[in-house]
Structure 1
Amino acid sequence: MTDSLSLEHFGEMLGHLYQGPLESVPWNTFLDSLKDLLSSKYATFILRPPSQYVDGLSISTAGSSMEVTSSYHEHFYSLDPFVDLPNRQVVSLIEFVSVNDWLNSDFYKSFMEPTDVFHVLGADINTPDGAQCRIRISRGRNDPPFSQVDKDLLTLFLPHLERAVILHMRLNRMESERNLYAGAVDQMAVGTILLDSDGKVLQMNRVAEQLVQEKDGVKLVGDGLQVGTPRDSQKFRQMIKQALLSQKSGNPTVVEAMRVQRPSGRADFGIVVRSVPPGEWSGARQCPAVAIFIGDPEQESRAPQEIVRALFDLTPSEAQIALLLANGLTLDEASDELGISRNTARAHLRSTFSKTGVTRQTMLVRLILRSVATLG
């Protein structure tokens, strides 16, 4: 530890660094602290360097504007001489470029001088799984150049920054996958509710939120769920209890199902309750323990017409007929919905049969609902 950084201050900054992936603007607090520690104008972390194909992704301290960052990505990154540094090594700009060359470069004159950036300290981090990161610390023309002490200070944080980047990438990947799968379940019109180990609601997807808001057979009471009649709710609680016992004991996943009548008289819900296998080292109480899936026959298929057309080579009219049938309408109801005669609807249906290779209406409905069209 250097003389200018106490152990307590170092620990505080490490806390900001590892908290960085959870911030709305990643590492914003850490960068501000680093800027102050190194008495600099700007601290910038480039998480994804720009290229001729994609814009870069960078986080800067409050001193640098979005316009400056955008300008760098769009126009000046290809002129920047301070790139491709030795991996995990802190170096200063003057080790790369002479002062005279720097002052006369187009990059300095067009981009750095207007923002009063002259001294730059930096490091590149290339992680084993492919992340390319850059951290740059900048001072003005009249500020002192970066010293060896400054380089040593930044070096202290590099291994921790690399670990935090790896955590960020993994969290980001998991979040992307979660959003993808959640979107797929939404498209299939299935309500999904996750409960924690105390049986309290952790999360609901959009379909489940809509069903709960309607309070027509399923509603939220406090942090828990109530379904159907008191007798239904008793059975439902017993199913959840059994799933929780299974989850806590590490037994094979329990899956149970029930039907729930709706007070409005609309079609019954189908509810499936299953335990969620715990992670090997999961210790938090607020981890998913039980998943509840609610099937609502009243929900229409969300297969986009354009996707159905492309998958089965249908005309717009044929795709409309097919989707209306998939949503539970009869051929007569579909023809009324589209304002066409029954004979015209039959002609479209025959053509659809020919293109899809099915011979009955029920087979067509099954084909559409089981295809990837509902994920479009």
Structure 2
Amino acid sequence: MSGTRAVVAGKRASLSTARARQPQPVQLEQMDALLGAIYEGPTESPPWQTAMLKLREVLTASHVTLMLRPPSSDSTGIMINTGPTTAQGIESYETHFFAADPFVRLAEGDVFSAEELIGPQWRQSEYFREFLEPINVRHLLGADIYTRDGIECRFRVTRGPDAEPFSNEDKSLVRLLLPHLKRSIQLHARLDFLECERALFAGTVNRMLLGMVSFDANGNIIETNQEARRILAEKDGIWLAGNTLCVESSNESRELQRMLRGAIADNGNSSEGPGMVEAMAVTRPSGRAKLGILVRTIPLGRWSESKQRPAVAVFLRDPESNAAQPSQELVRRLFGLTRMEAQLALLLTEGFTLDEAAEKMNVRRNTARTHLRSIFCKTGVTRQTMLVRLLLNSVLSIG
């Protein structure tokens, strides 16, 4: 086994000298299209699909595959693949053949064919005979990509049995594109992190039943969240007409428009600090409690240049909306309560009196009082109002 590794290492060292050869000139239009697709890749779904298709065409390849997360014994991978594939073939690689991939852990910048790396005997390997040959693959080119954040990606190109082997010019083109693909992968990782963060906070805002409408610097609505759409769909004092927030009361409508204009104007002037914040109430013709509205400027970043970014956020609060009750299990874990104590605490938080809560729990009032005293002892409060405030201000509201 050690002898085989030495042969492979020797071949890698000798092959590295071949990189000094100058590739044939690539058409500028082709290179521009390839690089453009690579850097636009992070915004696509699936990412880099266009770049892989263009590269498949340029290399006259059967498949071009980018494994964003290579398969492992613990999990299946994530592949962007172009070319004829089957679900069975992908599953075979993800569950078995990934372990026989001959290109694993190539050095940064290495681009090798299987014959160069292993020799002609590789065609007798299990990987070739049981995985590649059945899908009509004869030639295989590989490279691995590593980032400073610990990301490891695999890049593979194939050709069929009737095609020519990959030339030095083919390998030089791939080697030239690898650093750009690496930078694009790093951008994708950063965008993915920001999207995860955005989804987390957006979900928290929704769970807190806080409606939000965002406007750009031109006063156009960019996005509305779930709670805002619910409130606006009721058309009870406020609704959405096209790209405009409409309010039933003419006086309140003028006040809201004034606040929006002021916040948009303030957005262009404030690059630091919290920006303008104003609030008002909107009357509902149904007679229900007034809606609360808060308008907040979203200051420009230091290097912001786009007018399509959020410039103003309008928050809507319906005081009569019914938030989903946290589970008794969460209450029990957070405060160390028993099942009955957690149920009583939640009922009191909903506004029930002790007698009403006892009736709902089908227990005597004295039993409920005993549970309440135990809750006081475990939470450190001495009155029901303090208990309700403690629960409402806890992490339960975002659970």
Q: TM-score range by the shorter chain?
A: over 0.9
Deviation at 1:137, TM superposition (A): 0.1
**2:148 aligned to 124, 128, 131, which one?**
128
Superposed CA offset, 1:236-273 (max 9, x none): 11111221121111264111112222222222222211
TM-aligned CA distance change 1:307 to 1:168, over 3 Å? same
| Aligned pairs (5 A) from 1:67-216 | 67-100=88-121, 102-216=122-236
> 2 CA distance for matches of 1:20 and 1:310?
44
Deviation of 1:40 after TM superposition, in Å, equals 1.3
Residue in 1 that maps onto 2:13: none
- The answer to whether the aligner puts 1:317 opposite 2:334 as a matched pair is no
Q: Secondary structure of the equivalent of 1:249?
A: coil
Q: Deviations over 1:156-180 (max 9, x none)?
A: 3212211211111111111000000
User: Match for residue 363 of structure 1?
Assistant: 386
Distance 1:227 1:305 in 2: 39
* 1:237 aligned onto 2:257: yes
Alpha-carbon distance in 2 for matches of 1:329, 1:260: 28
Residues 105-114 or 159-168, more deviating: 105-114
The total of aligned residue pairs comes to 375
TM norm structure 2: 0.87
Change (3 A) 1:240 1:341: farther
Tell me what 2:295 maps to: 273
CA distance in 2, matches of 1:329, 1:199: 44
Q: Deviations over 1:173-223 (max 9, x none)?
A: 110000001111111111122111122221111111111111123211221
Where in structure 2 are there 5+ consecutive unaligned residues? 1-21
Amino acid at match of 1:7: L
Letter aligned with residue 366 of structure 1? R
CA shift for structure 1 position 35: 1.2
What's the C-alpha RMSD, in Å, of the aligned pairs?
2.1
Shift of 1:320: 2.7
Please, which moves more after superposition, 178-187 or 329-338?
A: 329-338
Q: Given the superposition, is the C-alpha separation of residues 154 and 373 from structure 1 closer, same or farther in structure 2, using an over 3 Å criterion?
A: same
Compared CA separation, residues 224 and 327, structure 1 to 2 (3 A)? farther
Contact in 2 for aligned 1:90/1:151 (Cα 8 Å):
yes
The aligned runs of 1:28-67 (5 Å cut-off) are 28-67=49-88
> For 1:13 and 1:50, how far apart are their aligned partners in 2?
27
Shift in Å, 1:338: 4.7
- Against the structure 1 CA distance between its residues 370 and 338, is the aligned structure 2 distance closer, same or farther, given a 3 Å change threshold? same
Superposition TM-score, scaled by structure 1 size: 0.93
Report if aligned partners of 2:291, 2:317 keep a CA contact under 8 Å in 1.
yes
Task: Assess, with a 3 A threshold, how the Cα gap between structure 1 residues 240 and 329 changes in structure 2: closer, same or farther.
Answer: farther
195 and 61 in structure 1: CA distance in 2 versus 1, 3 angstrom threshold: same
Partners in 2 of 1:60 and 1:224 — Cα distance?
43
Local SS of the residue matching 1:60: strand
Cα separation, 2, equivalents of 1:272 and 1:149: 61
Aligned counterparts of 1:202 and 1:339: Cα–Cα separation in 2: 50
Residue number in structure 2 paired with 1:283: 305
Report if the CA contact (8 A) 1:191-1:208 is conserved: yes
3-state SS in 2 of match to 1:281: coil
Q: Which residue of 2 aligns with 1:326?
A: 349
The separation in 1 between residues aligned to 2:320 and 2:257, in whole angstroms, is: 25
**Offset, 1:26:** 0.9
Counterpart residue identity of residue 189, structure 1: L
- Residue 299 of structure 1 pairs with residue 321 of structure 2: yes
Query: Max radius of gyration: which structure?
Result: 2
